[in-house]
Amino acid sequence: MRLIGWLCVIGSGLSLVAGILVARDNMRVYRELCARGRLWACGRDGMPAFTTGAIIAVGLLAFGILILAIRRPRARRSDAYDPDDEQMRRIRRL
Per-residue pLDDT for the chain (94 aa), expressed as one digit of tens each? 778 888 888 888 888 888 888 888 888 888 888 888 888 777 777 677 778 888 888 888 888 888 888 877 666 666 666 666 777 778 777 7
Where do the structural domains in the chain lie, given as residue ranges? 2-72
* CA separation for the pair 93, 87 (Å, rounded): 10
pTM to 2 decimals? 0.60
Identity of the amino acid at 4: I
Residue 12 neighbours by CB under 8 Å, 6+ apart: 56, 57, 58, 59, 60, 61, 64
Residue 39 DSSP code: G
Q: Please tell me the predicted confidence (pLDDT) of residue 78.
A: 63
